[in-house]
């Protein structure tokens, strides 16, 4: 049985994630870069769908006074994340086992919420519920950041995008069989929406500033300010 919703067991996630997401490192770099400008001194930062804790692992260096909440529905992922911080006694951390849709942090208690590659498992209704929950938990002026695999505008664009993603995975050392297995999950196990749909959802929920701040072949980063 799988211990989380990604292609690999939690214990292998760090070693293998860049085979599936060749630009993975950039998602974190750009998120940190954005938060340094948009919300430089957050008191509380929730990383939902934190996985093995890589984003917070990098963030603690620049945000030493921030209280970080790491949430994920997978106990196996949280356990890898916990191990990562075992020797960081000075870091202010809290772990919660939950999906974003069920997170129960107090209303308007959080300055930054990041959801990096963790909301594309939702169907439309659940995505709305989860994103609405993020809006509820954010303080006024708080920043929501998400990176996700996206859906191109046209069928042709989708075909070309998936082929380019497959080629990139092969260059990262995956076998053809592994690549085909992963690409076949698109629209079946994870449900990307277009960049336009992302922006519309965030505007509909009431966010004031809604922007794309990074995009590549099949992934994009979007932020929104409450």
Ligand X SMILES: C[S@@+](CC[C@H](N)C(=O)[O-])C[C@H]1O[C@@H](n2cnc3c(N)ncnc32)[C@H](O)[C@@H]1O
Q: Which residues bind ligand X (CB under 6 A)?
A: 4-6, 48-51, 54-55, 72-74, 77, 99-101, 116-118, 121
The sign one gets for the Cα dihedral 89, 92, 98, 99 is: negative
Closer to ligand X by CB, 61 or 156: give it: 61
- State the nearest-atom distance from the C-beta of 154 to ligand X, in Å: 26
- State the nearest-atom distance from the C-beta of 223 to ligand X, in Å: 15
CA dist 194 and 76 (Å) reads 30
- State the nearest-atom distance from the C-beta of 90 to ligand X, in Å: 23
- State the nearest-atom distance from the C-beta of 118 to ligand X, in Å: 3
Establish how many alpha carbons lie within 13 A of residue 84's alpha carbon, considering only the half-sphere containing its beta carbon.
Answer: 23
- State the nearest-atom distance from the C-beta of 155 to ligand X, in Å: 25
Closer to ligand X by CB, 5 or 226: give it: 5
Strand-pairing partners, residue 136, are: none
Closer to ligand X by CB, 54 or 169: give it: 54
Closer to ligand X by CB, 33 or 156: give it: 33
Q: Which SS3 state, helix, strand or coil, does residue 209 take?
A: strand
CA dist 190 and 194 (Å) reads 13
Ranges of H-type helices in the chain = 10-20, 24-38, 54-62, 75-84, 124-137, 155-171, 176-183, 195-205
The sign one gets for the Cα dihedral 70, 18, 118, 203 is: positive
Closer to ligand X by CB, 84 or 160: give it: 84
Q: Would you say 23 and 51 are in contact if contact means Cβ atoms under 8 Å apart?
A: no
Residue of minimal Cβ distance to ligand X: 51
Closer to ligand X by CB, 73 or 142: give it: 73
- State the nearest-atom distance from the C-beta of 192 to ligand X, in Å: 13
């Amino acid at each position: 049985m799988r211990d989380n919703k990604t292609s690999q067991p939690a214990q292998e996630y760090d070693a293998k994630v860049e085979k599936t997401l060749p630009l993975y490192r950039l998602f974190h770099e750009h998120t940190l870069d954005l938060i340094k400008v948009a919300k430089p001194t957050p008191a509380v930062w929730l990383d939902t769908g934190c996985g093995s804790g890589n984003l917070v692992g990098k963030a603690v260096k620049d945000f030493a006074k921030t209280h970080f909440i790491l949430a994920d529905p997978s106990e196996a992922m949280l356990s890898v994340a916990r191990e990562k911080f075992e020797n960081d006694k000075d870091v202010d951390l809290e772990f919660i086992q939950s999906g974003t849709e069920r997170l129960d942090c107090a209303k308007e208690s959080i300055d930054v919420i990041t959801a990096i590659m963790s909301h594309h498992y939702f169907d439309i209704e659940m995505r709305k519920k989860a994103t609405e929950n993020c809006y509820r938990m954010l303080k006024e002026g708080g920043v929501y950041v998400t990176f996700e695999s996206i859906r191109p505008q046209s069928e042709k664009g989708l075909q070309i995008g998936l082929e380019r993603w497959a080629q990139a995975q092969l260059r990262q050392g995956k076998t053809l069989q592994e690549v085909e297995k992963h690409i076949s999950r698109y629209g079946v196990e994870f449900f990307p929406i277009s960049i336009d749909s992302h922006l519309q959802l965030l505007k509909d929920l009431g966010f004031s500033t809604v922007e794309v701040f990074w995009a590549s072949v099949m992934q994009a980063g979007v932020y929104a300010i409450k």
